[in-house]
Structure 1
Amino acid sequence: MPDAPFSTGAKPDRATLNSLVLATAQRDRQAFAALFNFYAPRVKAYLLRLNAHDSLAEELAQEIMLTVWRKAEQFDPDQASASTWIFRIARNRRIDAARQANKPALDGEDPSLRPPEIQPPDDAAHENGRDDRVREAMLDLPDEQVALLRLAFFDGLSHRDIADQLGMPLGTVKSRLRLAFDKLRRVLDSETL
């Protein structure tokens, strides 16, 4: 590696830049300092051309150069030049930043993000018992009413869809479901007394 590639102010050649990255992979701080001084302003200018505002471009340039330090051992001069490798990192980081900016912020108060409340064991046992009582009560219903209940509540069909599927008038579906509910209510109410 040349001793002072930037002392003359001339742009270093490809071989010099590649050797600086390879030296950085060996944790040579002087090589990294030279890379940083050369590439950080160029990376920032590149990010500005990619429509990053000034503070974002500055922050991303710092992160990109830190990535160069951390991942310099992954650089392969047979695959790409140092410039290509570093600017590819910059491009990918800018894309990641744009994607992150387009994501809506999460609202910590959104109920859908909260875990379900833990149900006390006695409430769970009560619900299981209630479910068992409903199943038993359904055994006493006529088959046609059970079929209507299954279509309405287990399959999630609307009254109109049930009527269409079974070829029944809508009023008949509604009245039979009402009769089924009345029978279930009477059985379940008498068991709780």
Structure 2
Amino acid sequence: MTRLMASVASARDVEAFEALFRHYGPRVRAFMLRQTRDISLAEELMQETMMTVWNKADLFYPERGTVDAWVFTVARNLRTSAFRKMKRPVFDPTDPAFVPDEPLEPGEQLERTDDAERLRLAMKDLPPEQLEVLKYAFFDDISHRKLAAKLGLPVGTIKSRIRMAFGKLRKALEDAE
């Protein structure tokens, strides 16, 4: 078999490839059938394997292993690639993750805009140290521990400032209603 593979690799010998095909074709098809349990897929993968053997015969090195091992490694890799392609999820345009939210009613939109504006105004009235920890913690998504390290403060102080800021914001928003 090594001599046949060398002929295919060096001279693109069609007769040598036919001999390889007659020898390995049925064995690869049987291997694929055991793996896939689908006759048409097994046949297709066998054909693809043998075409790869023809096209890449020059990549076979007898000092690295046998022709059997090389051919079945090619077959196994093609089968793995085929399974990966088959297991890709099918795009579903009706999936809720891809469907945009319904537009808000004009009254709802106005209410949300008003709420956001009241919150912005209330945040302007916070002491700078409380506003700073709120921005870092909620807008920059920095944990309390990292924020404490960044500002050189104890974690308890960070939590207290956030709690006091929430209290002041809650009161300001309740008063604004």
TM-score by length of 1: 0.56
Which residue pairs with 2:6 in the alignment? 22
Q: CA RMSD in A?
A: 4.0
Structure-2 change in CA distance of 1:20 and 1:110 (3 Å): farther
Structure 1 residue ranges, 4+ long, deviating more than 6 angstroms after superposition: 108-113, 179-182
The one-letter amino acid paired with 2:128 is D
* Equivalent residues of 1:47, 1:94 under 8 A apart: yes
Matches within 5 A, 1:22-171: 22-25=6-9, 26-107=11-92, 142-150=127-135, 151-155=137-141, 165-167=158-160, 170=163
Percent identity between the two aligned chains:
41
Confirm or deny: 8 A CA contact 1:60 1:93 kept in the other structure: yes
1:53 maps to a residue whose letter is D
State how many pairs are aligned. 144
Deviations 1:27-70 (A, max 9, x none): 11222122222211210001112234111111110110011011
Gaps of 5+ in 2: 99-122, 145-154
Per-residue deviation at 1:76? Answer: 1.6
- Residue ranges of structure 1 left out of the alignment (5+ in a row): 1-16, 114-137, 183-193
Give the letter aligned to residue 66 of structure 1.
M
| 8 Å Cα contact 2:130-2:162 kept in structure 1 | no
Structure 2: distance between partners of 1:152 and 1:38: 67
Separation of aligned partners in 2, 1:46 and 1:33 = 19
